[in-house]
A and B are shown apart, each in its own frame.
Chain A
């Protein structure tokens, strides 16, 4: 089944404790993105990648890191999480000729 897989689905952590949210897609897609979704603000892009080793900042990159060492994986790293990073996070991917993104199931992160 073609899909984008994120883990974990839910995560509660403490301020300053490094964490990684994993994202993997099995569709051989070139483009991958991370979004966060907050009430009233909608979906905002954090980082995106156009291919292996090619990444760029989105609208809200502060406090986040990403890497794209393999085509299928695009992890999101929070080096020192803060409470304002409490949010619902989505990973998404699309192919070169298909503009429509496929989204993962989401990760609900709470930083206390």
Chain B
């Protein structure tokens, strides 16, 4: 079982819709969770971090964490074509070893 799993996609949504990206992780002791956005050929960019159960909102982005279900999600409201990218879920189980999922490709159609 992979430590961090994401659906590879592509996930296609129309412009203005809500995009929902999901991630599950295997280590119950994980404490820190991150979402990165990566445009093709570019480096990953941190867009959200979440450390406790519930929702965390930042502009059009909402991260959701459910530790009991070992589930993290990212909602993007009012999706724009510029949101088209690969979204990487990352989990910090212990120490300094940040573990990434393989990423979900998001395509926003105008």
Given contacts A31-B96, A33-B96, contact A99 B45 (CB under 8 A): no
For the complex formed, measure the closest distance between the CB of A24 and the CB atoms of chain B, giving whole angstroms. Answer: 15
Given contacts A41-B102, A42-B88, contact A48 B44 (CB under 8 A): no
A99 touches B92 (CB 8 A): yes
How many B residues are at the interface, by size bracket?
A: 10 to 19
Given contacts A42-B88, A42-B102, A43-B88, contact A102 B96 (CB under 8 A): no
B97 touches A45 (CB 8 A): yes
How many A residues are at the interface, by size bracket?
A: 20 to 34
Residue among A43, A56, A106 facing the most chain B CB atoms (10 A cut-off): A43
A100 touches B49 (CB 8 A): yes
Query: A101's contact among B8, B98, B102, B103, by CB below 8 Å, is which?
Result: B98
Chain B positions within 8 Å of A, measured between CB atoms, are: 8, 32, 34, 42-46, 49, 88, 92, 96-103
Chain A positions within 8 Å of B, measured between CB atoms, are: 31, 33, 35, 40-45, 48, 50, 56, 58-59, 90, 99-106
